Amino acid sequence: MTIEEIYPTIDLIGFIDEFPKARVLVVGDVMVDEFIWGKVERISPEAPVPVLEVIRETRLLGGAANVVNNIKALGGGVYVAGVVGKDGMARYLIDEHKRIGVETKGLIQDQQRPTTIKTRVIAHQQQVVRFDRENKAPIDESVKDKILKYTRSLADKIDAVVVADYGKGVIDVELVEELVEISRQHDLILSVDPKVENFFCYKDVTVITPNHFEAEDSVGVKIVDEASLLKTGELILERLNCKNVLITRGEDGMTLFEDGGDVVNIPTVARDVFDVTGAGDTVISALTLSVASGAMMRDAAFISNYAAGIVVGEVGTAVVSDVRLKDAIHSALNSKDKLRATRRKGTKDRQ
């Protein structure tokens, strides 16, 4: 069977213009991304390790909170549901959500848990080390009930739910099953940025976006060529009974497996890759907003690919504005190197 070349067939910019009308709830592991920036010019006399001269420190919304930040930057309406501690970093997260115009009723404070912090040390534009402060134990049932109550209160106001799973205890089978049922009842898009440990929790969702390694680990197939890639995507579709799978593949771009059996390979548009931190957050944000704004899944995948191509060219957790995304698409589609994709026609339709 031959593979034919295709282009995005619908005005992608038009979908981005519709982003402000879309409303998305992000459910998952909110956290703080902390960065310590500096330079290394000598080795410590105490041990054979580099000495970092700290120049500055920054804090950003991380994890599920970075998905919130991405959706907001892209112009979408967004809500958040997650768990924080009763500490200084919880105050930071709450204040930052308020600052960008996101209500914080869904951020449940649990004094038994610390607010999750990921600290990255950056020297000469390269990440040297990361250390995490967290509690990955499952959240209490009372906290889960509050998250679901908040979700139900929004169900008639939103178009989509994003599950942003970082394996910090918020997401489990019971929570996902409830989110699937709420989404079914209210005809909502349900998107998942997965964690391998919870992979088979995500049954019956609209779309799941594993990276190359998560996809391999989830079904036990090493992706080494087109045949193994196709097998991996098909197995995920079958085992999760989901409608779409978007495998992000780094420098090889993305591959979308659609519920009708089609497979679309989308090459990367990234010119330079400095840091992939938060790239998955950008993908799930742009993808979900696009579908909520009327795009078909493959057009949404093209849009998310452009967005990812922007953020990987920056160091640290980054977001993409709607203006910058439209500029990137305009530039690419007006150039000689138009983004092309390949499609393999499925042999059977999925129910």
Assign 5 a pLDDT band (cuts: 50, 70, 90): very low
Tokens of 238: 């079958």
pLDDT at 122: 92
Catalogue the active-site residues. Answer: 281
> How far apart, in whole angstroms, are the C-alpha atoms of residue 197 and residue 237?
17
Query: pTM of the predicted model, to two decimals?
Result: 0.89
Residues 47-72 pLDDT 10s: 999 999 999 999 999 999 999 999 99
Assign 75 a pLDDT band (cuts: 50, 70, 90): very high
Tokens of 228: 């193994």
> How far apart, in whole angstroms, are the C-alpha atoms of residue 338 and residue 35?
36
Residues 243-284 pLDDT 10s: 999 999 888 889 999 988 899 998 877 555 444 556 889 999
Element (H, E) at 183: helix 173-185
pLDDT at 3: 34
- Mean pLDDT score of the chain: 88
> How far apart, in whole angstroms, are the C-alpha atoms of residue 161 and residue 79?
9
Residue whose structure tokens are 């497996």: 257
Residues 23-33 pLDDT 10s: 999 999 999 99
- Please report the domains of the chain, with CATH numbers, ordered by start residue: 4-31+67-115+136-344 (3.40.1190.20)
> How far apart, in whole angstroms, are the C-alpha atoms of residue 211 and residue 195?
10
> How far apart, in whole angstroms, are the C-alpha atoms of residue 209 and residue 269?
18
Residues 117-153 pLDDT 10s: 999 999 988 888 999 999 999 999 999 999 999 999 9
Residues 275-319 pLDDT 10s: 455 688 999 999 999 999 999 999 999 999 999 888 775 655 568
- Pairs from 319-324 (Cβ < 8 Å, separation ≥ 24): 319/66, 319/69, 319/70, 319/73, 319/74, 319/278, 319/282, 320/70, 320/73, 320/74, 320/282, 320/286, 321/73, 321/74, 321/75, 322/16, 322/19, 322/73, 322/74, 322/75
- Pure H helices in 221-333: 226-240, 279-292, 297-311, 322-333
160 burial level (CB within 10 Å; 0-12, 13-18, 19+)? buried
